[in-house]
Chains A and B, each alone.
Chain A
Amino acid sequence: AQTVTQSQPEMSVQEAETVTLSCTYDTSESNYYLFWYKQPPSRQMILVIRQEAYKQQNATENRFSVNFQKAAKSFSLKISDSQLGDTAMYFCALHPQGAQKLVFGQGTRLTINP
């Protein structure tokens, strides 16, 4: 079975601070993909960043970066210089290689305060 766990239901930081969201997962697949999605109040999921499991280099997209620890099955998201527009629900998701679906965690509600 594939599972994704996000242990932080809510987080709150001040604008311009750095924040890290945690995610652990479990899969028996040897290759897979990991994603972070952002869901603002509009409900539309927006891809933030993705990582392929066989790539050791951590993915980076502007202010967003990940810390991928394959042995520990950990995939955390770091947001640098946080902005008010980063306020949203963030979901970690696993895409096993052999399956055509995403397995999502429970989400972390992130609030950026002015």
Chain B
Amino acid sequence: GAGVSQSPRYKVAKRGQDVALRCDPISGHVSLFWYQQALGQGPEFLTYFQNEAQLDKSGLPSDRFFAERPEGSVSTLKIQRTQQEDSAVYLCASSFQGGGGTEAFFGQGTRLTVV
């Protein structure tokens, strides 16, 4: 596709439900990132993939958060037993390579609201 695509754009979940957020990166992009953006804040890093390998998951806030990219393309961020503090916009970004200075292209994000 022309850009990074995320789905759904909006998700409302009841507390305790599991959710899955999808990211389709730009074709051929090796690196994929997930960020969490709370209301009125800057994005915070969650995790990083190089192809199918998850090389950094230091930003995942708890073991309820899990991300995968099994074929090195589409990625899914899963949140189990959602809690109200999980409410945020989840941004996905991809880049051609992971080197510093490489432009990361962002999707429009998924706004998750936990009620």
Contacts and interface: CB of A to CB of B under 8 A. Distances in A.
Q: Do A and B bind each other?
A: yes
Contacts of B35: 102, 104
Interface bracket on A: 20 to 34
A104 B56 contact: no
Interface bracket on B: 20 to 34
Interface stretch (A41-49, A65-73, A74-82): A41-49
Given A32-B100, A50-B101, A103 B45 contact: yes
B89 interface: yes
Given A91-B42, A101-B48, A102-B43, A45 B93 contact: yes
A42 B108 contact: yes
Interface in A94-114: 95-97, 99-107
A101 B59 contact: yes
A44 B42 contact: no
B67 to A, nearest CB: 14
Interface of A: 4, 6, 31-33, 37, 42-47, 50, 52, 91, 93, 95-97, 99-107
Interface of B: 31, 33, 35, 40-45, 48, 50, 55-56, 59, 89, 91, 93, 98, 100-101, 103-104, 106-109, 111
Given A103-B45, A104-B43, 16 more contacts: A43-B111, A44-B107, A45-B91, A45-B93, A46-B106, A50-B103, A52-B100, A95-B100, A100-B31, A100-B48, A100-B55, A100-B98, A102-B33, A102-B45, A106-B42, A107-B42
